[in-house]
Structure 1
């Protein structure tokens, strides 16, 4: 890997938290530039996007801890893959085993990628089995129906007797016309 710059990334989840400790640690380890943001890891992270867009081959993204960079193993692996494509590295100060500039660090991330893939497939299998078991027990998924069976029956009676147009029946029941249509038997 060609020698580049150490570039820091610091993030806190809420506006009330302070970036100072991360800023100091990243500065001490030699980061010439530090991208900072105050957003939850689940939200869009514009500064992380800017950092990734400005990286050059040989640069090393440095974080104080991995949870400041990624919200999950999968997210970390996506970011690491993007860094690899650019030719940049990743280093965590709190987790010394995360150093993709070394063969051992690359090996650890490769193992993590395999474990994350295995975990995803297990979760998918368990979810599918759990849904099937719940359906067999009679559990219904999705939102609770807006109209009760009695209201649907009343609407069917009014429609059959031709008392009112469907739009007025829906208004009487306090729902939108399309909600009534979805509730009626096919």
Structure 2
């Protein structure tokens, strides 16, 4: 048996859920999970409870997709989780986002493909940018704690019998930094 389950969210405690509740009730939602928390928050306890509650053939109804997801990739992850569970998704403000219809499933599949393509482009551009920077002599990673002249000085002190703890104090670095530096000369 199909159950329509609603999810309503507002971003701040001062905002009201009444309008969303009314629309979801009008759509016949048997239960509504409600949350007053920013969509930017990764942890949304009521959304997690809702996702645990949903069963095969249920339909998750939201007034707008931005009430459910923080971003396109977040929406696609939630939609995939729902698909695996055999749960439909319907947005009242975006009728094209209705996975209970073949057209809605196709639209979300196309969006998933576009998002995957976009991720691939970002990875490629980032790798190309890194390579170009390396070719220009840019060094990646944290700035070295000791300059080459400081490393040479630390080596001289070590060779002169100074204890590593004293050398560390002089340069204001950890023992492992001195051991790495002395070993690299």
CA contact (8 A) 2:91 2:98 kept: yes
Task: Let me know the Cα RMSD of the aligned residues.
Answer: 2.2
Instruction: Find out whether 1:11 has 2:9 as its counterpart.
Output: yes
Question: Corresponding residue for 2:169?
Answer: 171
Question: Corresponding residue for 2:112?
Answer: 113
Shifted more, 91-100 versus 64-73: the winner is 64-73
Per-residue CA deviation, residues 2-38 of structure 1 (Å, 9 max, x unaligned), is x522212223445555444433333333323222231
CA contact (8 A) 1:15 1:39 kept: no
Question: Corresponding residue for 1:32?
Answer: 30
| Runs of 5+ unmatched residues, structure 1 | none
Per-residue CA deviation, residues 129-181 of structure 1 (Å, 9 max, x unaligned), is 01111111122222233334443333222112222x22331122222212333
CA contact (8 A) 2:39 2:69 kept: no
TM-score for the superposition, normalised by structure 1 = 0.85
Distance in 2 of aligned mates of 1:101 and 1:131: 44
Alignment of 1:65-104 (within 5 A): 65-104=64-103
3-state SS of paired residue (1:110) = helix
Per-residue CA deviation, residues 98-140 of structure 1 (Å, 9 max, x unaligned), is 0000010001011111111111111111111011111111222
Distance in 2 of aligned mates of 1:88 and 1:172: 64
CA contact (8 A) 2:39 2:67 kept: no
CA contact (8 A) 1:14 1:40 kept: no
Question: Corresponding residue for 2:151?
Answer: 152
Question: Corresponding residue for 1:180?
Answer: 178
CA contact (8 A) 2:97 2:108 kept: yes
TM-score for the superposition, normalised by structure 2 = 0.85
Question: Corresponding residue for 1:125?
Answer: 124
